[in-house]
Structure 1
């Protein structure tokens, strides 16, 4: 084999090695990018889980009714009994939906709330007439 052929084959081998190196670098970069995206998604999912657990724990510690308990704490006597009745009914509906109370218990408690609400409404009307 003469020197020109050896040089030719050497150049081809070098070109193939450079091509393989470029392809492997691109594949490595793609795998790194995919790994970064997956890592970001997992981190966001874990963060969302932590925020959800903190929200539920705070809700549980504050009494279970997020909006109702904050409204009743902040508003004091300015909230009407209609708002309180609606809040109690919403709380009962939420307990029923979450399975904390049975259907019979839900119906019994809602009935009591409606009776209490009617009595309160009659008392308000009598008070207005005076």
Structure 2
């Protein structure tokens, strides 16, 4: 009976080893899958960040609407410190320029609206901006 008992315990031991091996394999596969999912999410987040930075850089370099203008305005001239203080007026003037260039408003309407915008500004700023606008109008013709 000793031989049968030894075979019985050996069979149980082998079955337990096989069972443990299967459990370890399944847990390992699940952990690998979880790691792959986490790694994929992190990779996509990093990729999205890189794409966003490239988009913002491209918009800044190409002078897009949402770029932060610090050195030049949309027509290529340089800004002075006094001109950048009124950002709301600049955006309204840029919008008027864009509407004129796209043909949404006539030249007379453009000049009338710009004149009303410039009435509230200092005389030096007005003279400089009028000169800029006249240069832009000449380029458009």
Specify which structure has the bigger relative contact order, considering alpha-carbon pairs within 8 angstroms and separated by 6 or more residues.
Answer: 1
> Partner residue of 1:47?
47
Distance across 2 between alignment mates of 1:76 and 1:59: 20
Aligned residues between the structures: 86
TM-score normalised by length of structure 1: 0.54
Instruction: Specify whether residues 37 and 25 from structure 1 end up closer, same or farther in structure 2 by C-alpha distance, changes over 3 A only.
Output: same
Instruction: Specify whether residues 49 and 2 from structure 1 end up closer, same or farther in structure 2 by C-alpha distance, changes over 3 A only.
Output: same
In structure 2, runs of 5+ residues without a counterpart are 67-73, 75-94, 120-141
**Pairwise CA distance, 1:114:** 9.8
Residue 6 of structure 2 aligns to a residue whose secondary structure is helix
Instruction: Specify whether residues 19 and 44 from structure 1 end up closer, same or farther in structure 2 by C-alpha distance, changes over 3 A only.
Output: same
TM-score normalised by length of structure 2: 0.50
> Partner residue of 2:24?
24
> Partner residue of 2:105?
80
Distance across 2 between alignment mates of 1:39 and 1:56: 26
CA RMSD of aligned residues (A): 3.5
In structure 1, runs of 5+ residues without a counterpart are 86-112, 119-130
> Partner residue of 2:79?
none
> Partner residue of 1:116?
117
Instruction: Specify whether residues 54 and 9 from structure 1 end up closer, same or farther in structure 2 by C-alpha distance, changes over 3 A only.
Output: same
Distance across 1 between alignment mates of 2:64 and 2:47: 22
4+ residue runs over 3 A deviation: none
**Pairwise CA distance, 1:48:** 0.2
Instruction: Specify whether residues 114 and 64 from structure 1 end up closer, same or farther in structure 2 by C-alpha distance, changes over 3 A only.
Output: farther
Distance across 2 between alignment mates of 1:58 and 1:2: 82
Higher helix share: 1
